[in-house]
Structure 1
Amino acid sequence: MVVEKMKKDIPHITFNPVSTDSYGFEIVSIEHIANNKNRHTHDPELPHQLKFYNLIFFTQGSGRHFIDFKWFPVQENSLVYLTKDQISAFEFSEKLKGYCIIFTEEYFVNSFSNLTNDFVFRLFNPELFSPILQIAKNSDFLTYFNLLLKEYGNPHSFNHKTIINSLLTILISKAEYLKQNLTFHISDSAKLVLYQNFVSLLEKNLTQSRSANFYAKELAVSYKHLNTVCKELINKTAKNVIDDFIILQAKRNLINSTTNSSELAYKLGFEDPTNFTKYFKKNTGLTPKSFIQSLQKD
C-alpha cells in the first residue's frame, strides 16, 4: 500500500503492492502494517480513505477499528468488510493480530463475475449488514482462510492465480452463508433488488432530489412500499436512507478535497449553502466546520 498525499489531513490510500506480479491482489499482516507505519506519509492509525477493497481478519487479541466515522469493536475471528471509498483507521495493540486481504476494483469485477448480482451487491454493502462479522471458532471459514494464506505464500506454485481466486470465492461464500443465518429477512430477493435499484438511483440523482416520493415514483412503486422494504431490510425509512447517504458523501467530500462547504452545498444539490449547513447540523448535530474540528481531535 502507498499513501497518495492530499491537501487535507485525511489522504487516499491506493493499491501499490510490494510484488509487481500481484495481479490486483495482496495479503498483508496487521503486524507488518503496524511495524512499518512510520515509513508511510500517513499514519494508518489516523483516518484515511481506501481506494480498494479490504477484508480484515483478526486472528488474535481485541480492540477496535474505525469505519466511516465510527469505531467498531473487534476481537479474535472478527471479519471486517471495507469497501472502496470508505474511511478507515487501525488501532494497533501488541495483542491485536491478523491479516488484510486487499484487492482492486478491477480484481473484484473480474474475479466475481460468475457470482449473481444480488450476491455481489450484498457482499460489500455497509447498509445491509454490520461491517463486522464474527466468525465462530468451529466454522470451516477458518480452514479456507488458512488455505488461502498457505497458497498466497507459494506464488510460484502451478496455476497460482486461479487457486487464489477460487479460495477467495469460497471464503467470501462461507462468510455470506453466516450472514444469511443472521439475517433471514433478506432472503426475499425481490425486496433486495428493489433496495439495490433505490440505492443506484440515489447515487445517480443525488443532486436532483432528496425526496423519497421522487425515488418511489422512479422505481414505479408506492412510497409506502419503498418505505416498508427499507424498514425491513435495514431498519430505516426511505428518507433516512437518503439523508444518511447524502451526509456520508458530504463528510467524505469535506475531509478529502479542497472544496469548501459552500461549494459542496451546490455539488450536493442545495441551492443555498445555508440550507446545506442547517441540513448537515440537523443530521449530525455539528456544522461542517465543527465536524472537521471534532475529527481532528479524535
Structure 2
Amino acid sequence: MLTSKRLMQIDKDVTFNVIPSFLYCEALDVRSEQHDWKIKPHRHVSLFQIFVVTSGGGTVQLDDEMHSIVAPAVVYIPNNVVHGFTWQVNSKGYVLSVTSAVIGQLVNQKDLSGLANRPFTTQVSDSRLADIERLCRDIQQEEKSADRYSDMMLLAIVQRLLVWIFRNVPVRSAHQYLTKPEKKLAQFKSLIATHGYEHHLVGWYANQIGVSGAHLNQICKTHEKKSALSLIHEFLLDEAKRYLIFADLRISALADRLGFNDPAHFTKFFKNLTGETPKDYRRRFR
C-alpha cells in the first residue's frame, strides 16, 4: 500500500514533480508565505489542484485570464492549465493536489466531463464551506492514518469533495465557457472514458459525435496539443498505471481487462509510451 508521501517538491521557480502517491493536502499558506505570497505562472502535466480559500484572497491567472478571489471561494485547476497566484498576506485555506488518473476515475459522467476539465473560480456559501473544510481536514487526517484501506477511504473523500464543489457551480456557468469545438472535445473524452477499453479507431469516435476523423483530430490538436489517438492512448495508459499501482492483478490479467488480446502487445504499448515495462513501473512505485 502506498504511503501518503508528498506529491510535489518545489524549487525556486515553482516547478512541481509528481512522486509516488496520488494526492496531497496542505495548508494554503505553507508555500505561499515562503514565496512572499506570489506564485509564478506554471502548469502541471498530470496533476489537478483545488484551492479552498477560507480567508483572505487575491488574484489567480488561469491560462490567459485573470480572476479575483475573495474568500470563501474555491479555485479548480485541471492539468496543463497555466496558473499563478498573488495572494493577500496571511490568506488561509487548503491546497489539494490529485493526479489526473484519479480525477479521471472519479469524474467520468457525461454531465461533468466539460466542467471537470475546465478551470474555474467560484464563491462558496458559509454552510457549504463548512462541509468542504471538513472534507479537507478528513483528507489530512486520513493521509496520516496507518489504517487499512486508507487509499480507498481517501478516494471516497475526494469524490465527495468534488461533488460539493461542482454542486456549487451554477449550471449556466459550468457550460457557458465551452465553445462548440470544446463541447465536441468533452463528448470525445466522455466516450473515451466509457469505451476506451474497446480499442476503437478515431473514426468510430468521430462518427459518434458527428464530425469527421480529421476534424476531431484538429479539435484535439487545437485544444489539447495532442492528436485524438494520443488522447485515447493516454486514457489507456492512465488506467494501466492506476491498476499497476493499486491492484494486485497479474500483468496478463491487467492486459485483458484493458482490452489487449495479447499481454506482449500491452507490454509493448506501455513501454513505447513510458520507456519501461509494466512490471518495472509497478516495482518502482511499490
The TM-score with structure 2 as length reference comes to: 0.54
Q: Pick one of 38, 41, 44 that aligns with 1:47.
A: 41
Q: Secondary structure at the match of 1:101?
A: strand
Q: Confirm whether residue 36 of structure 1 aligns to residue 34 of structure 2.
A: yes
CA deviation map 1:151-187 (0-9, x unaligned): 423522534322222121111112222225455978x
Q: Confirm whether residue 137 of structure 1 aligns to residue 126 of structure 2.
A: yes
2:60: which partner in 1?
65
Aligned residue identity for 1:175: I
Quote the Cα distance in structure 2 between the aligned partners of 1:246 and 1:181. Answer: 26
Matched-pair contact (CA < 8 Å) for 1:118–1:193? no
Matches within 5 A, 1:236-251: 246=222
Quote the Cα distance in structure 2 between the aligned partners of 1:193 and 1:46. Answer: 30
2:201: which partner in 1?
none
Matched-pair contact (CA < 8 Å) for 2:52–2:93? yes
1:220: which partner in 2?
210
Matched-pair contact (CA < 8 Å) for 2:63–2:83? yes
Aligned residue identity for 1:125: N
Aligned residue identity for 1:196: A
Quote the Cα distance in structure 1 between the aligned partners of 2:171 and 2:49. Answer: 23
Matches within 5 A, 1:256-267: none
Aligned residue identity for 2:158: L
Q: Secondary structure at the match of 2:16?
A: strand
Matched-pair contact (CA < 8 Å) for 1:11–1:49? no
Segments of 5+ residues of structure 1 without an aligned counterpart are 202-215, 223-240, 250-298
Q: Secondary structure at the match of 1:196?
A: helix
The TM-score with structure 1 as length reference comes to: 0.52
CA deviation map 1:250-269 (0-9, x unaligned): xxxxxxxxxxxxxxxxxxxx
Identity %: 15
Matched-pair contact (CA < 8 Å) for 1:4–1:14? no
Quote the Cα distance in structure 1 between the aligned partners of 2:172 and 2:127. Answer: 16
Deviation at 1:104, TM superposition (A): 1.3
Q: Relative to 1, partners in 2 of residues 1:33 and 1:184: Cα closer, same or farther, differing over 3 Å?
A: closer
1:166: which partner in 2?
156
Aligned residue identity for 2:160: I
Quote the Cα distance in structure 1 between the aligned partners of 2:182 and 2:41. Answer: 31
Q: Secondary structure at the match of 1:142?
A: helix
Quote the Cα distance in structure 2 between the aligned partners of 1:11 and 1:96. Answer: 19
Q: Relative to 1, partners in 2 of residues 1:11 and 1:170: Cα closer, same or farther, differing over 3 Å?
A: closer
Deviation at 1:116, TM superposition (A): 4.0
Matched-pair contact (CA < 8 Å) for 2:138–2:157? no
Matches within 5 A, 1:1-298: 1-3=8-10, 12-16=15-19, 23-37=21-35, 45-51=39-45, 52-110=47-105, 112=106, 115-126=107-118, 131-139=120-128, 142-154=130-142, 155-156=144-145, 158=147, 159-183=149-173, 194=184, 196-197=186-187, 219-220=209-210, 246=222
Segments of 5+ residues of structure 2 without an aligned counterpart are 1-7, 192-205, 213-217, 226-286
Deviation at 1:63, TM superposition (A): 1.2
